[in-house]
Amino acid sequence: MHGSWMLFVALGALVGGAAGFFGVGGGIIAVPALVYLFGFSQKEAQGTSLMMMIPPLGLVAVYEYWRQQAIGPKDLGVAAMLVVGFLAGSLVTSSFIGKVSDPVLKKAFAVLLVFVAARMFFDK
């Protein structure tokens, strides 16, 4: 293990808070934190972030959005189609991630974050 269990729980709480508030967390907060604060490789961080998201996303967060009527029955079909695409996309990309070096993966990840941040910042 790369750090104290209390620090991992604190990071999980921060990521969960960001997920509940912004709808993000794993890639934007957990992955960089695991790499730079805990010494994980980029691949370890991404895989750990994916494992972290399995239980809570399907349970607590979605229930709360449903309870507050932020999502409803009309959203189920869209979510189901997104799940199909997500499963296909993650299967394809995770199958060749071992062939991508950590430095290349970090740079690609950074480009994605910068692009999204710039787009959101300059959007009206």
pLDDT, tens digit (0-9, with 9 covering 90-100), for 79-94: 787 778 877 887 888 8
Compute the distance between CA of residue 45 and CA of residue 31 in angstroms, rounded to an integer: 5
pTM: 0.65
Compute the distance between CA of residue 122 and CA of residue 8 in angstroms, rounded to an integer: 34
- Helix (H) / strand (E) element for 39: namely none
Q: What are the φ and ψ backbone dihedral angles of 103, each rounded to 5 degrees? A: -60, -40
Q: What is the mean pLDDT of the chain?
A: 83
